[in-house]
Amino acid sequence: MSALPHSRLPAAGRPRRKSPAPQRERMSAVDVSWLRMERPANPMAITSVMTFRQRLDAQRVKRTLREQFLAFRRFMQRPVEEVGAHYWETDPKFDLDRHLHRVALPGAGGKRELQDLVSDLASTPLDPAHPMWQFHLIERYRGSGSALVARIHHCYADGIALMRVLLALTDADLAPAKHRDQAGGSLLPWLEPLSSASAKLLQWTGSFWQGYFEMLLRPAKALELAQAGAGFVVEAAKLLAMSPEPATRFRGEPGLSKRAAWTEGIPLAQVKVLAKTLGCSVNDVLLACAAGALRAYLTAHRDSVDGLEIHVIVPVNMRSADADEALGNEFGMVFLELPLGMANPLERLYAVHQRMLALRHSPQPMLLLGLLYFAGIAPRAVHEQLLQTLGAHATAVMTNVPGPQRRLRFAGAEIDEQIFWVPQSGHIGMGASLLSYAGHVQFGLITDAGMVPDPERIVERFAVEFSKLKQAASGRKVRS
């Protein structure tokens, strides 16, 4: 062992000063569940990209992260496990320089090179010895611009919460300082953090046991209570009865390499007009276009798509409209069946529309949030079994997050475009993202390189599928 420098040796006869114990707080059960999902083949990091036409100043970026990003104290903490319990612990050796990296792209330094870098980063796990997040500042992007790639482990926050973090970095008035240090901390040392969604879960669980004992004393209550819980029982039965996903090139055993790609964006105003004309939501239109792009990729590889239906997991925000800026994971999920077997774009759109309507008032999001909650407190073997069960019933994770519709500035430079991807788990090898920003919608895809080595071939079909849908809506003949 090497000796300490003389300047750090304690004076003779002077007792060594003890370092203060790291600050700790309990992790929520849902956050623990996402932490446990980490796998070498599926790092559980949310990845986002922002591009700029201007050059970002590295020192100003660092100052913005120090003053605004680290105002959320959670980002100075790392997840730790001790005797089966999980905690957020302040990193005693926290160093911002460990989390902010300056990168130069090779060759032309354009979009293709940036996509290659994002692919490499998305394939790399974050260091659990320190807070699990990184920012990569790319200089001279497309010659005179910049790019910023952020990777944050999913156990810190979900996509909605991280979008609020982004807003905090760009417009301070959108995230008041009084909320910024709310990292989902515990109310008391022995109580788990109570978000609005987890409070509902505990309330539902408490009502269940209260009802159980009431049934023992008052059997006449059995029918009333059974009717009240029927929705959850039926939904649970549906999930258990779902058939395994069909075998396509989109599923398989994930490898260590990922590939990322994204579109240039389509005008949001056009999407809204088309949605209104066809009596559907913007979300319906975007999902139908994504389904068309996936179908086109399979047909280009001469794969059979006759009658093909795949399930995608769609996250559902469970926060109330007036929720604060706290981090953490507060979302449920639904399993949406995408009709890739439908060639007609209008038929495909209306099928998506009807299925989303059926899911809109379903208890499925709360049920799945509850499963993640209990998986976080259950033994690891139970957690593993749950993930295998859920993963067997989905081909992709598909998120749609409405971003700000005015242009924002970060560290003095205007954000030109932004896109993000959420991680996958189990045998799910594809994550799709639909993000609106400044009047445009971008479609991003991250895939397992062994299953889909060229996701750019899928995303480039997104605008084509939107054009086909517009043609069909106007009564014109659609070209395949």
Nearest to 75 by CA among 147, 149, 182: 182
- Identify the three-state secondary structure at position 31: helix
Average pLDDT over residues 328-336: 84
The encoded tokens of residue 207 equal 């009502």
Nearest to 122 by CA among 459, 460, 444: 444
Number of neighbours of residue 79 by Cβ within 10 angstroms: 20
The encoded tokens of residue 381 equal 């073997």
Asked if residues 304 and 325 have their Cβ atoms less than 8 Å apart, the reply is no
Cα–Cα distances in angstroms (integers) from residue 362 to residues 63, 215, 323, 358, 390, in the given order: 45, 26, 22, 7, 17
Higher pLDDT, 401 or 76: 76
- Long-range interactions of 40-43: CB distance < 8 A, separation 24+: 40/125, 40/256, 41/253, 41/254, 41/255, 41/256, 41/448, 42/254, 42/423, 42/424, 42/425, 42/426, 42/428, 43/122, 43/123, 43/124, 43/125, 43/126, 43/423
Q: pLDDT at residue 426 above 80? A: no
Domains in the chain, please, with CATH? 23-180 (3.30.559.10), 196-473 (3.30.559.30)
By the 10 Å C-beta count (0-12 exposed, 13-18 middle, 19+ buried), 223 is classed as exposed
Considering 15-19, 44-48, 131-135, 176-180, the range whose residues carry the highest mean pLDDT is 131-135
- In eight-state DSSP terms, residue 428 is B
- Identify the three-state secondary structure at position 261: strand
Percent above pLDDT 70 for the chain: 78
Query: Which sign does the torsion angle of CA 257, 79, 444, 387 carry?
Result: positive
For 64-102, what is each residue's pLDDT tens digit?
Answer: 999 999 999 999 999 999 988 999 999 999 999 999 999
- How far is the C-alpha of 169 from the C-alpha of 182, rounded, in Å? 16
The encoded tokens of residue 424 equal 């996958």
140 φ/ψ angles, rounded to the nearest 5 degrees: 60, 40
Average pLDDT over residues 173-194: 36
Asked if residues 80 and 91 have their Cβ atoms less than 8 Å apart, the reply is no
Per-residue pLDDT, 476? 60
Q: pLDDT at residue 128 above 90? A: yes
pLDDT band at 156; cut points 50, 70, 90: very high
Asked if residues 397 and 428 have their Cβ atoms less than 8 Å apart, the reply is yes
Per-residue pLDDT, 63? 95
Nearest to 269 by CA among 434, 436, 409, 419: 436
CA 285 to mean position of chain CA atoms: 21
- Residues 446, 80, 94, 103, Cα dihedral to 10°: -20
44-53 burial code (b ≥16 CB/10 A, e <16) = bbbbbbbbbe
Per-residue pLDDT, 208? 43
Cα–Cα distances in angstroms (integers) from residue 55 to residues 49, 83, 100, 112, in the given order: 15, 48, 17, 19
pTM over 0.85: no
pLDDT band at 428; cut points 50, 70, 90: confident
For 351-368, what is each residue's pLDDT tens digit?
Answer: 999 999 988 878 888 777
Average pLDDT over residues 301-309: 96
Question: Could you give the strand order of the β-sheet that contains 145-153, starting from the edge strand earlier in sequence?
Answer: 100-104, 133-141, 145-153, 45-52, 413-421, 409-410
For 273, the enclosing helix (H) or strand (E) is helix 268-278
pLDDT band at 152; cut points 50, 70, 90: very high
- How far is the C-alpha of 421 from the C-alpha of 399, rounded, in Å? 8
- In eight-state DSSP terms, residue 251 is B
pLDDT band at 106; cut points 50, 70, 90: very high
Per-residue pLDDT, 386? 75
Q: What is the mean pLDDT of the chain?
A: 81
DSSP 117-151: HHHHHHTS---TTS-SEEEEEEEEETTTEEEEEEE
Per-residue pLDDT, 15? 44
